[in-house]
Amino acid sequence: MTGHLILVPTPIGNMGDLTDRAKEALAVADLVACEDTRRTGGLLKHLGIDKPLLRFDDHAGDAAFERLGLELGSGRTVAYCSDAGMPGINDPGFEIARAARAAGAKVTVLPGASAVLLAVVASGLPCHAFSFQGYLPNRREPRRTLLKKLGAEEETMVVFETPHRIHETLADLEELLPEREVALGRELTKLHETWYRGTPAQVKAQLGREDRGEMVLVLAGASAKRLVTEVAVAFEGGLPDWAKAYLAAAREGGMTLRDAVKPLAKHLGVSASELYRLATEI
């Protein structure tokens, strides 16, 4: 018999973000594997669901894998929940999925909440290409070494950070990448969700001594400033007549300015969002 493993995303803060498919998967599962049985147990209690729980965290031993194999080998359905968000992102979800596939079980991944995707989109920074690096190192020198490396990358970078260490990280960024644009989100999807944007020094000043709530830090890529500069130069030098004619014709044809600038930005090789922002200011 072939079992079924379902990876179930859970809310990162707001319980209203749990999907109907996630609720259904938890209700039909024979066993729920999870990082923290207390946290997932609380979620199940809130939903009125009573299921046996299997702790499956970063320190899962042979017993956890053996239990998983027995359940799936008997044709049962196992749901896996991380503490919050999409399973497999910065948690042992990939390990349980690999084990299930190796056992010949069916593996289904449900869509749902993700702090990484929410943060990169809400940051206001370019998100056509980005990388996620998990948590930064605890110790100062390894953290600074990694920040230097990330600062040289072209794409936007997303990292998790702990409240008690965020001030040290911002201080490192202020020294290493003082002009780089960053966005810091805390308490995402919760009542007191807050965003701080600007240079590392500006964000640190906005944050003050606030050190509560889970945090996600988004760092602009090395190319971001170049893109803005290219757009500014293009406008300062004056758009060519063909570009002006194109925008005029596009607007007369019923296109919005936002849609009209997209192909123009692609042709010029600049940021469409920045081109649109500057166009509206002009």
| Residue carrying structure tokens 């300062």 | 236
Other CB atoms within 10 A of residue 176 CB: 14
Name the band, by pLDDT with cuts 50, 70 and 90, for residue 52.
very high
Instruction: Write phi, then psi, for 150 (nearest 5 degrees).
Output: -65, -35
* CATH architecture assigned to 4-109: 3-Layer(aba) Sandwich (3.40)
Question: What pLDDT is recorded for position 119?
Answer: 95
Cα–Cα dist 82/77, whole Å: 17
Question: What pLDDT is recorded for position 281?
Answer: 58
Q: Which one has a higher pLDDT value, 251 or 220?
A: 220
Name the band, by pLDDT with cuts 50, 70 and 90, for residue 247.
confident
Instruction: Provide mean pLDDT across the span 105-119.
Output: 95
| Residue carrying structure tokens 């973000």 | 17
Q: What share of the chain is helix, strand, coil (3-state, %, to 5)?
A: 45, 20, 35
The answer to whether 136 and 35 have CB atoms below 8 angstroms apart is no
Question: What pLDDT is recorded for position 110?
Answer: 97
The percentage of residues in the chain with a pLDDT greater than 90, rounded to a whole number, is: 57
| Residue carrying structure tokens 């979620």 | 43
Does residue 225 register a pLDDT over 70? no
Supply the DSSP string of 40-105, one letter for each residue.
HHHHHHHHT----EEE-STT--HHHHHHHHHHHHTT-EEEEE-SSBSTTSSSTHHHHHHHHHHTT-
- Total H helices, total E strands in the chain: 12, 10
**Residue 218 three-state SS:** strand
Q: Which of 165, 159, 209 is nearest to 183 (CA)?
A: 159
The answer to whether 57 and 41 have CB atoms below 8 angstroms apart is no
| Residue carrying structure tokens 């290493």 | 176
Question: What pLDDT is recorded for position 280?
Answer: 67
Q: Which of 98, 201, 221 is nearest to 155 (CA)?
A: 221
Q: Which one has a higher pLDDT value, 210 or 103?
A: 103
Which residues partner with 28 through β-bridges? none
Q: Which one has a higher pLDDT value, 86 or 258?
A: 86
Name the band, by pLDDT with cuts 50, 70 and 90, for residue 33.
very high
The answer to whether 11 and 34 have CB atoms below 8 angstroms apart is no
Residue 162 gets which letter from DSSP?
-
74-94 pLDDT, tens per residue?
999 999 999 899 998 988 888
Structure tokens at 265: 């930005």
Domain covering 115-222 in this structure, CATH number: 3.30.950.10
Instruction: Provide mean pLDDT across the span 201-214.
Output: 83
Does residue 59 register a pLDDT over 90? no
Question: What pLDDT is recorded for position 233?
Answer: 53
Instruction: Provide mean pLDDT across the span 143-167.
Output: 93
